[in-house]
Chains A and B, each alone.
Chain A
């Protein structure tokens, strides 16, 4: 079955630690995205990648880092520099390089809690 998989579903992190969220897709999509959702907020773009070995900052990239070494994978690292990391993180992928004019496919999300 084709799809996009995020793991883990729930993640707890101690303050001051880095943590990496996994995102894998087998849809053969060029573009992948990371969003963050907070209560009462829309989905805010953290980072995106439109092609392997290339990625760009979104609207709220501070305190996060990504890599895109493979087409299928786009892991997100939440670093200790992120001031408010507790949130619901969503990974998405889409067709095309330049324009995501079709729907984005989302993973099930990872709930990160800093303790």
Chain B
């Protein structure tokens, strides 16, 4: 049973427009969420995070929104650039998650393509 879901495997956006990547989760114990960016044949790199005590966190072109009641978060990239083309993983963490305290649970990723 997938606890972190990224239902869109791919997204294509024109350069300069907004990219919106979505993520849903089912475990209400998750209280910390992160987005990672991954290029082919490389390790993921951290992009932005949000704690459950907030509903928005912004860092430059990247903003993450959290809707706890809907168990939904989204990553907005404005404006999108061709260099943003990558796979984006949503991840969630809980202070107490069985025996795996603090471990990250990843979604399957969304491949973003930004066209010039």
Q: Which residues of A are at the interface with B, using a C-beta cutoff of 8 A?
A: 4, 6, 31, 33, 35, 40-45, 48, 50, 56, 58, 88, 90, 92, 94, 96, 98-109, 111
Interface string of B1-30 (1 = CB under 8 A from A): 000101001000000000000000000000
Nearest CB in chain A to that of B46: its residue: A103
Shortest Cβ distance from residue B5 to the other chain A in the assembled complex, whole angstroms: 9
Question: Main SS of chain A's interface residues?
Answer: strand
* A43 adjacent to B89 (CB under 8 Å): yes
Given known A40-B108, A99-B93, A103-B34, contact A45–B100 (CB-CB < 8 A): yes
Question: Is B49 among interface residues, defined by CB-CB distance under 8 A?
Answer: yes
List of A residues within 8 angstroms of B60 by Cβ: none
Residue among A58, A92, A99 with most chain B CB within 10 A = A99
Question: Is B100 within 8 A of A48, CB to CB?
Answer: yes
B58-114 at interface with A (beta carbon < 8 Å):
89, 91, 93, 95, 99-104, 106-109
Q: Are B9 and A101 in contact (CB-based, < 8 A)?
A: no
Q: Which residues of B contact A40 (CB under 8 A)?
A: 9, 108
List 30 A-B residue pairs with CB atoms under 8 Å apart, sorted by A's residue number.
A33-B103, A33-B104, A40-B9, A40-B108, A41-B108, A42-B89, A42-B109, A43-B89, A43-B104, A43-B106, A45-B103, A45-B104, A50-B101, A56-B100, A90-B43, A99-B95, A99-B102, A100-B93, A100-B102, A100-B104, A101-B32, A101-B102, A103-B49, A105-B46, A106-B36, A106-B43, A106-B44, A106-B45, A109-B43, A111-B41
Interface contact A104-B104, CB-CB below 8 Å: yes
A108: chain B residues at CB < 8 Å are: 41-43
B102 x A104 contact (CB < 8 A): no
Instruction: Report the bound CA distance from A6 to B42 in whole Å.
Output: 11
How far, in angstroms, from A92 to B99 measured CA to CA in the complex? 19
